[in-house]
Amino acid sequence: MTRCQVWKKSKQFICSLTFLLIIITANLLWADTSDGTVSQLTTSGPVPSARSAVGTAALGDDIYFFGGLKEFFATRENTFFNDLYRFNTKKNTWEKLSPTGTPPSPRGHVAAIADKKTGIIYIFGGSHFGKNYQDMTMYNDLWAYSISNNSWRKIEPSTPEVPPERAHPFIHLIDNRLYILAGYTPNWGIVNDMWIFDLATSAWRKLTPKNPAPLTNQTPLGGDVDKEHFIFFDGRQTWEFNLKTTEWKDITPAKPNNISAGYVDSQVAFLGPYMYLQGGDKMGGKQITGCNVPYPQSESNDLWRFDLRQHIWKQLTPAGVTLPKIKWGSGVAVNNKIYYFFGYDFSCPPDGKGTGQQTFNQNVYVFTP
């Protein structure tokens, strides 16, 4: 018999209430401090070849992947793709699709997004280059893939003014309009302009904000909080753009609530009231410059969460398997989970000699908050 059971009835109520409060408090504390879990999936079907910088869009239980490239440091050879794959998150199965129509040319660093109302995936921009990054080509064309028809078509604009060519731009879809922001230029500089494409009229127009857009450290990673606000992380700072007022706002939190280091070429996904940032090159840390790398490497497997309401960054340490050290991968939120695909890591002996080891990720990892 417990102590509560021998108390008088009035005290029994107090004791029961105390136990209930303890249970509720414990559950709240657990929910607040849990950093989630990570697992590696066992998949079936034809796995895409090793690659990075893949155009990625989710619709329902499926995730679609277009193109990408294998950037092979050892030989400075680069292989670009224009194939299309589908991954089903219910069955964990891969499927290579064979659409009709002419597809976009092989390219990496494309922007992709799915229209839930029409079942169409839009592809914009991207890059293609030869050995040693010669013959650089970047694109500003817009393509549509119809899921129901399994077909490609190129969308021709109705206006003479179109966005300049770019790679790895931000893309989003709100109220039948595509928003294109920033991207890399052919000399790997960064533009910070914003364009709107009206899907009903096929017209492009440049959006001029009330205050200057941020000069970013990388092309921004982010998405929409609601139909009026975008949230972006530009490598070091966090920004909000108000579509109604067309104003930029720096919402970078002060320490200790800010992200501890800069990150570029990371994987970003939105889930609930949070933005999750995983991997990428960690700026300010130890960088690999030897072993014939074309540019410094500092891949990370860090996982950060940004609270969209309180504007606070928090580094997470999830349970389960270790997330991969990757950059230029894909992070996609589907059914309250985030799936991670593709990307690569690079390692080099301490003396910086040899060709090093470039490891491409062909596994699928799942983060469950």
Specify if 339 maps to a domain: yes
Over the stretch 186-232, which tens digit does the pLDDT of each residue have? 888 888 899 999 999 999 999 999 998 886 656 667 776 677 888 98
Alpha-carbon distance of 211 to 326, in angstroms, equals: 35
The reported pLDDT for the residue numbered 286 is 83
Domain assignment present for 15: no
Measured between alpha carbons, how far is 127 from 28 in angstroms, rounded to an integer?
A: 47
Say yes or no to pLDDT of 142 above 80: yes
Q: For 241-294, what is each residue's pLDDT tens digit?
A: 999 999 999 999 999 999 988 898 999 999 999 999 999 999 877 899 999 899
Q: Is residue 27 part of a domain?
A: no
What's the number of domains the chain is made of? 1
pLDDT at 4: 40
Residue 211 resides in a domain = yes
Residue 236: how many other CB atoms lie within 10 Å? 17
Look at residue 7 and tell me if it is in a domain.
no
Q: Please indicate, yes or no, if residue 10 is contained in any of the structural domains.
A: no
Which tokens go with 47?
Answer: 């796995």
5 in a structural domain: no
Q: 10 Å Cβ neighbour count for 103? A: 19
Assign residue 329 the CATH number of its domain: 2.120.10.80
> Which residues span the domain enclosing 253?
34-368
Mean pLDDT of all residues belonging to the chain: 89
> Which residues have a Cβ under 8 Å from the Cβ of 13 and sit 6 or more positions away?
none
> Is-contact 137 185, C-beta < 8 A?
no
